């Protein structure tokens, strides 16, 4: 088991020990309902990746099609810097950044958070790759990832002191499913992994293998 998957396993075990049973039950219910709903399935391999222009953590505009001119792109959508699973994932990508660069690929992480919140995430995790702000979630919607949080889950988050809407600069309480894509320089999706369970994340080694094989 890789470092990321091991860390996720350990965090989940600690959460199960510490979190109230009712809170765990409601969060599990939300995951199962989202899976059963069939919404936000994510784009598939072979589809054209929608282009986008989003600000990075400093406000500089970044366009996907321009990044693709320099090489394939690993594109990962995460929920926000408030999510412990997202932070574990982002740190794992930072650890693998040399391998990604050696494969002549670019790494872009996108969340619905405001640029200020994205900057906090980037600084907190000491990230040296692009962290973009998809305020309003339009890029997430284009990749078929965005869903509405159920009212009871919103209350669970609020009771935990977490105001997702403030992080995202709106009142929507919408999130993207965590998702990872590899996009070829022709703009076609070569790898896609999306899960309704926010605790499940793509192993960076899987996507690194994809971009490494492009060079063979």
Chain segment 160-182, per-residue pLDDT in tens? 898 888 888 888 889 999 999 99
Asked if 93 and 76 count as a contact pair (C-beta separation under 8 A), the reply is yes
Residue holding tokens 């070569």? 190
So what's the pLDDT on residue 165?
83
Which string of b and e fits 131-170 if b means at least 16 CB within 10 Å?
A: bbbbbebebbeebbbbbebeeebbebbeeeeeebbebbbe
Chain segment 64-83, per-residue pLDDT in tens? 999 999 999 999 999 999 99
pLDDT of 198 > 70? The answer is yes
- The Cα 122–Cα 14 span in angstroms is 25
pLDDT of 216 > 80? The answer is no
CA atoms lying within 13 Å on the CB side of residue 194: 22
- The Cα 61–Cα 55 span in angstroms is 4
So what's the pLDDT on residue 1?
61
Asked if 174 and 147 count as a contact pair (C-beta separation under 8 A), the reply is yes
Chain segment 110-131, per-residue pLDDT in tens? 999 998 889 899 999 999 999 9
Asked if 50 and 143 count as a contact pair (C-beta separation under 8 A), the reply is yes
Cβ contacts of 177 within 8 Å, gap of 6 or more = 34, 40, 42, 77, 145, 147, 194, 195, 196, 198
pLDDT of 215 > 80? The answer is no
Q: Angle formed by the axes of helices 84-95 and 115-124, to 10°? A: 60
Percent of the chain with pLDDT over 70: 100
Mean pLDDT of the chain: 94
Q: Quick one: tokens of 190?
A: 């070569």
- The Cα 24–Cα 159 span in angstroms is 13
């Amino acid at each position: 088991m890789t470092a990321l998957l091991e860390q996720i396993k350990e965090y989940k075990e600690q959460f199960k020990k510490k979190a109230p049973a009712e809170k765990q039950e409601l969060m599990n219910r939300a995951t199962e309902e989202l899976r059963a709903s069939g919404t936000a399935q994510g784009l598939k391999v072979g589809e054209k990746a929608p282009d986008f222009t989003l600000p990075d953590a400093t406000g500089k505009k970044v366009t996907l099609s321009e990044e693709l001119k320099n090489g394939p792109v690993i594109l990962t959508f995460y929920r926000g810097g408030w999510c412990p699973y997202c932070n574990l994932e982002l740190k794992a990508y930072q650890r693998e950044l040399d391998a990604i660069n050696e494969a002549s690929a670019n790494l872009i992480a996108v969340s619905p958070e405001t640029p200020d919140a994205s900057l906090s995430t980037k600084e907190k995790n000491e990230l040296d790759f692009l962290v973009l702000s998809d305020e309003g979630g339009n890029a997430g919607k284009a990749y078929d990832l965005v869903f509405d949080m159920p009212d009871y889950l919103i209350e669970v988050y609020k009771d935990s002191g977490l105001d997702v809407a403030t992080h995202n600069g709106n009142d929507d309480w919408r999130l993207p499913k965590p998702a990872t894509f590899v996009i070829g320089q022709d703009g076609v999706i070569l790898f896609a992994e999306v899960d309704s369970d926010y605790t499940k994340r793509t192993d960076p080694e899987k996507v690194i293998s994809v971009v490494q094989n492009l060079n063979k």
